[in-house]
Structure 1
Amino acid sequence: MQITRLSIIVPVKNVEQEISGVLRSIAAQAAGLDAEFVVVDMGSADKTVWEAVQLIKELKLRGFVIQNGDGTVAAALNTGIQKSGGDYLTFIFARRLYRDFIGGYLETALHTSADFVFGSISEEEAHAAERRLISKAIRQESGAQYLKGVLSHSIHIDISAVMLRRRFLLDRQIYFFDSCSHGYAEEFVFRCLLCAETIAQSPTVIKRDTVYELKRGKQKPVGKNIFQHTDALLRIFDLIKTTRRDDAELIQLFEHQKLPLTVMNGVDIMLKEGAGYNAVRGYLHAAGYDKLLSAGRKTDKALKRRIAVWRTIPWMYKAK
């Protein structure tokens, strides 16, 4: 029986023209790695499914195509996790591709038996990651510390360039929130960081692959649904208060920076889509999101100004 080291999960919809470049570029990265491709279609109305099946045959890839119906990306990713058979898995998004990271990540994952692997964004970061991998003396950071780094922008983790141990996800019952269309990726990454026992940063420097990325025009308005992102982070905040109640710094970063920033970003999107100030303020009040606009020591100055203007003179507020 052939061992599957890695499952590459690719959610797709209406990409019959672009899927060839996407799959070919990822197949080149995964050559010789005992990998399988799990393409999950989200109700395409074109020939995406047919093209994907033909490409898997043409490129002689191990893998299959699942028709998941017209649903969210989160639901498609959950299906991919459930149907995959690899020791590790990674997610590939046509709109946000990275080049030449899969081999380096898998090497790091197998070397460390990590639950969660992410990459480096500079040569300096890569050298530090390399030192951590080869030295037992260098203290490994906890998931909470990595999350603080993400919240304070000293660490960059992108769902489009991570690798996860499948058994970790299944044992801890970590999935994407099926009905969530905004914030599902961030919620998933944060939950993984908080639950993982071993997290490893690969010395692989990640770089975008803009040649094959899906380039489409403006998306349809999202309206109030943008606050699904806030709901996703509130679920993470509940987890933090339950499992990290003694970590005052993490709680403050979330309560006084991440949550209010996400609410204000939602305000900006609604205003840009044409909603009136009073309508937005009324919705925030009715949904209780206005109570999240609290500032503290961990709130940066720019966000404090945005909150202050929005609260006191909303007609003067300019969406960012």
Structure 2
Amino acid sequence: MQAINLSIILPVRNVEQEISGILRSVVRQTNGIEAEFILVDMGSEDGTPLECVQLIKNEKLHGFVIQNGDSDVAAALNTGIQKASGTYVSFIFARRLYMDFLKGYLETAERTDADFVFGSFSEEDVRLAERRSLSKAVQQQSGVQYMKEVIRGNLQIDLSAVLLKRSFLRECGLHFTEGCRYGYAQEFLYRCLLNAQNIVQSPTLLKRDTVFELKRGKEKPVGKEIFQAVEAIQRVELLLQTSFKQETELQALFSQELLPRTVMNSVDVMLREGSGYNAVRGVLRVLGYDSLLKTGRRTEKNLKRRIRVWNLIPWMYQAK
């Protein structure tokens, strides 16, 4: 048997009716690639596991189904990484599918021996990535530089469209924080960026597959669990403070932009779900997150305005 180039990890739950279209959407991208499909079931209450097994058999795919119990997405992804045998791994999510990116990513990864590959969301990004790939004079950016661009909103990296070298993940001990339903993806990506030696943007233009994406709404209100996203960012900030002390600009971006923005975005979620202003302010006080609403010269103007209104006249604040 040939070596596996790519392990595709897909967490699933209660998608018996939709999994056929989702999986076939991904399979079309792997023609000519030695790929394995790892479908991790998170405690489905319908026939999803059996349907997944049948699809793998009918499509003659190299792959298998893992029943991971009533687990969260982070735990399912960790299980997939542990069971993967491909040189590279990629994560596919039913609610956020991208078309025709895997071949382009794999070509970029194999040509550059990259630890971390991400894609392009605009034609301008494509041209920049092409210039970097063709010119030895254009130096690849470090993970710290990429993180700064992501925080400033100048760059987008989506967990649903990345390619990671499996040996890199294992050697660095990188995994998702289990029990964290919100913020686990951002935390994982930041940790990968901080640890990767060779990060490459592929000149592959990313487009969503709106035909096969799962379109169901959320099953229940999120509530104060949304503040797990703040905890996730704080864990990365602690890593910066202990192991990247010299990166003072990045630390300032965390404290003055990323953390207060994450707090305010979480506030918006609770308000949109119907929580009252006083109830949300009470949650912030109990968690200590009201102290994170600090601004500085690296804070974006609109975020400063949101924080000022929320702190002074919360009844006038309009959730985004």
TM norm structure 2: 0.98
- The CA deviation at 1:283 is 1.5
Q: Which deviates more, 217-226 or 172-181?
A: 217-226
CA distance in 2, matches of 1:72, 1:24: 24
- The CA deviation at 1:71 is 1.1
> Residue 129 of structure 1 aligns to which amino acid in structure 2?
A
CA distance in 1, matches of 2:219, 2:243: 37
CA distance in 1, matches of 2:306, 2:204: 37
Which string of whole-angstrom CA distances, capped at 9 and with x for unpartnered residues, describes residues 137-174 of structure 1?
Answer: 11110000001111111111000000000111111000
Specify the alignment match of 1:106 in structure 2. 106
- The CA deviation at 1:242 is 2.2
> Residue 301 of structure 2 aligns to which amino acid in structure 1?
K
- Helix, strand or coil for the counterpart of 2:297? coil
**Matching of residues 162-311 of structure 1 within 5 Å:** 162-311=162-311
Q: Which runs of 5+ in 1 are unaligned?
A: none
Q: 1:218 to 1:76 in 2, by over 3 A?
A: closer
Specify the alignment match of 1:134 in structure 2. 134
Q: Which deviates more, 135-144 or 95-104?
A: 135-144
Which string of whole-angstrom CA distances, capped at 9 and with x for unpartnered residues, describes residues 237-264 of structure 1?
Answer: 1112223222222111111111001101
- The CA deviation at 1:314 is 1.5
> Residue 254 of structure 2 aligns to which amino acid in structure 1?
F
CA distance in 1, matches of 2:155, 2:181: 24
- The CA deviation at 1:196 is 0.4
- Helix, strand or coil for the counterpart of 2:245? coil
> Residue 251 of structure 2 aligns to which amino acid in structure 1?
I
CA distance in 2, matches of 1:32, 1:85: 18
> Residue 165 of structure 1 aligns to which amino acid in structure 2?
K
Specify the alignment match of 1:57 in structure 2. 57
> Residue 21 of structure 1 aligns to which amino acid in structure 2?
G
- The CA deviation at 1:318 is 1.7
Q: Which runs of 4+ in 1 moved over 4 A?
A: none
> Residue 199 of structure 1 aligns to which amino acid in structure 2?
I
Specify the alignment match of 1:150 in structure 2. 150
- Helix, strand or coil for the counterpart of 2:9? strand
CA distance in 1, matches of 2:318, 2:24: 43
Specify the alignment match of 2:86 in structure 1. 86
- The CA deviation at 1:282 is 1.6
- Helix, strand or coil for the counterpart of 2:265? helix
Which string of whole-angstrom CA distances, capped at 9 and with x for unpartnered residues, describes residues 111-131 of structure 1?
Answer: 111110000112221122122
Over aligned residue pairs, what C-alpha RMSD do you find? 1.0
Q: Which deviates more, 61-70 or 279-288?
A: 279-288
How many residues get paired? 320
- The CA deviation at 1:308 is 1.0
> Residue 92 of structure 1 aligns to which amino acid in structure 2?
I
CA distance in 1, matches of 2:249, 2:200: 22
- Helix, strand or coil for the counterpart of 1:23? helix
Q: Which deviates more, 243-252 or 222-231?
A: 243-252
- Helix, strand or coil for the counterpart of 1:282? helix
- Helix, strand or coil for the counterpart of 1:203? strand
Q: Which deviates more, 86-95 or 247-256?
A: 247-256
CA distance in 2, matches of 1:196, 1:145: 12
- The CA deviation at 1:45 is 0.7
Q: Which deviates more, 97-106 or 275-284?
A: 275-284
The alignment-based identity, stated in percent, is 62
CA distance in 1, matches of 2:283, 2:107: 48
Specify the alignment match of 1:2 in structure 2. 2
CA distance in 2, matches of 1:211, 1:271: 31
CA distance in 2, matches of 1:200, 1:167: 17
TM norm structure 1: 0.98
